[in-house]
Structure 1
């Protein structure tokens, strides 16, 4: 890496961590079997989203959990369901969209603490391992990455459009202000 100016070095401190009461290492967990060679995994946190209230929401992929971390660092389990949630985006004060490896795009109603399918397939094909999620700036619609090397944009709730096929290293998204996608 080339730095034109010397980066400032800062000391970091731990603000908060997943409390022990939420840690549940299980070597039989299917996600642990597939991703960690069966080693016990007590959590795998992803998909951080800041809420206007100042709270941080995160997913726990192996155990299908969504947590809220308040500004003082206290953790609360919002919901646990039989899925593998990954990326999230806030699409309203009360709604999070979630990419779920097992189920496609899911919707979490924060006030009711319920998770329901939002978009589980593209045409007749189920999503396999949806990952990152973005909201397209010009249309307010979600887009996500799906293996093997494809990305999709959702023109409406009932369907999606495949934008790229076999794009190498397509994890992560960025979008330009006036354009639909860029990588």
Structure 2
């Protein structure tokens, strides 16, 4: 079993496709052939089509971090500026899926993944609001079910 990058991608070196961003995270590939990624301090989600230059896709982005798509192909984002997990609606605006747990604001949602059931799992450290430990007072991993139930 391969255990190193060079064993998995023998003969292939990483290639820089573009430079000059402040702090990037959350790359996600869209099935239509482009990459989306966040530049957190720039408060922008960029769209990169191979062969071109990255272009702003969504500004402001709520200082988004992790990005993914739900089972319907809608963009989901962890926003540390908005302290929420959001979903892009049909008109291109971001709508809140969850912004609090147990009556308190989320800390700073960071990364997320969608389970085959449609549940969204996300992490919520206080990184975007340091040195404040956050309203939750702990680093959490949450599950947001399709019916809106949020569990920690």
Alignment of 1:14 onto 2:15: yes
- RMSD across aligned positions (CA): 2.7
TM-score, normalised to structure 2's length? 0.75
**Residue segments in structure 1 that go unaligned for 5+ positions in a row:** 24-41, 163-183
Deviations 1:11-43 (A, max 9, x none): 52635204xxxx5xxxxxxxxxxxxxxxxxx52
Runs of 4+ more than 6 Å apart = none
In the TM superposition, what are the counterparts of 1:1-183 in structure 2 within 5 Å?
A: 7=7, 10=11, 12=13, 14=15, 16-18=17-19, 42-81=21-60, 83-91=62-70, 92-93=72-73, 95-102=74-81, 103-109=83-89, 112-137=91-116, 139-147=117-125, 148-156=138-146, 158-162=148-152
Q: Is the 8 A contact 2:86 2:98 kept in 1?
A: yes
What TM-score results when the alignment is normalised by the length of structure 1?
Answer: 0.63
C-alpha distance in structure 2 between counterparts of 1:75 and 1:100, whole Å? 20
List runs of 5+ in structure 2 lacking aligned partners: 126-137
Point out which structure has higher relative CO (alpha carbons under 8 A, 6+ apart).
2
- Structure having the higher Rg: 1
For the residues of structure 2 that align with 1:82 and 1:57, how far apart are their CA atoms? 12
Q: What is the count of residue pairs matched by the alignment?
A: 135
